[in-house]
Copies of this chain bind each other. A is one copy, B any other.
């Protein structure tokens, strides 16, 4: 899988990647997975801070590997004039620039938006910030936890009798990564037709706000705040987690037909004749009573038995997987959602490609680069001689 020719949809697109940590690197990895030539520009000697974070095995951070496959690494000191001059030479031949600096940092390097548009009219510039690059909070520091809180996302999650609850993965970062990857591709479609680049921005908060979906719709329509309901559906019952003999099973009949199938599969269609449970409104009103009856049945058998039995009856259901179960699951394996990077240091497992294309699929073309691994290769292509490179290295520019 190493250094094979990319044939993904974005083959031939060169991305200059100034990002670090999560949101930017996840975005550029998505582009690289689909064939773009991603050049990760890092500070000489240090590089992306995530290179030293999380569990290190044989000197490599598996956390870093999760977000930086399919890239090449070039070291460049962007605080030096010479470093910035090399960046300009890279941009002249690039299709995309991605950055997640705090607002204004790139401008202070001489790369304000007007300059970028004027010097590189073909360039698509992609940018992620916590709150965006405009507006009253533009200069505030933001992290995923703050974005989850301020977007309203945290406030709708959590148990009915408990506090608002974050999602454990840094979901605002990762949603923003996806949004930016989409926006960059949309701008590339237009560029293919017009020759013009664009400046594409997204913010951690805005990405989560756009995910509020019907919770926002219902709030707009009623002016009532949605109640937190934990794992219960706010408008349907039965629906949620149920306790089997050896663990919890998620069961989600989403309409009356499926509720009938579910109760039929439990051999308890008679419950629909009980005045307390005859329709969804009454089942919601008597949720605790029905939950007790259902758990009394479900607890008599194992999760796997129920999943087989209920799926056969056409009732949506599934085990609440821990990560070991997730990555061992036959469906997850069939979709190769656990991949292995073949590093010099050994194999590193990472999550797979969620977007599958038939003609131009995502592929593993590059493992995770060592810091500066491709500096000489890439700058050689720009025409810099070995002696110049030695000199730049000695002075800490590369």
Point out residues on A near B: beta carbons under 8 Å: 8-13, 22, 26, 30, 34, 54-55, 57, 62-63, 65-67, 113, 117, 131-132, 134-137, 140-159, 162-171, 174-176, 178-183, 185-190, 192-193, 196-203, 205-207, 209-223, 225-226, 228-231, 233-234, 239-241, 248, 250, 252, 254, 311, 314-327, 329-332, 334-335, 337, 348-360
Contacts and interface: CB of A to CB of B under 8 A. Distances in A.
A240 B143 CA distance: 12
A155 B318 CA distance: 13
A96 to B, nearest CB: 11
B320 A154 contact: yes
Nearest to A317: B146
A328 to B, nearest CB: 11
29 contacts: A9-B183, A54-B217, A63-B218, A66-B213, A66-B216, A67-B213, A132-B331, A135-B335, A137-B330, A143-B252, A149-B241, A150-B318, A150-B320, A150-B329, A152-B326, A153-B169, A155-B320, A155-B322, A166-B231, A167-B167, A168-B226, A169-B211, A169-B212, A170-B213, A187-B357, A198-B360, A206-B354, A209-B352, A210-B351
A358 B322 contact: no
Nearest to A221: B55
B211 A174 contact: yes
B209 A13 contact: no
Contacts of A318: 142, 146-147, 149-150
Contacts of A179: 178, 354-355
Nearest to A168: B156
B171 A211 contact: yes
A167 B216 CA distance: 14
Contact of A200 (B215, B254, B355): B355
Contacts of A322: 152, 155, 225
A264 to B, nearest CB: 15
Contacts of A164: 231, 241, 248, 320
B334 A134 contact: yes
A225 B320 contact: no
A141 to B, nearest CB: 4
A130 B135 CA distance: 38
Given A62-B217, A189-B13, A356-B201, A326 B150 contact: yes
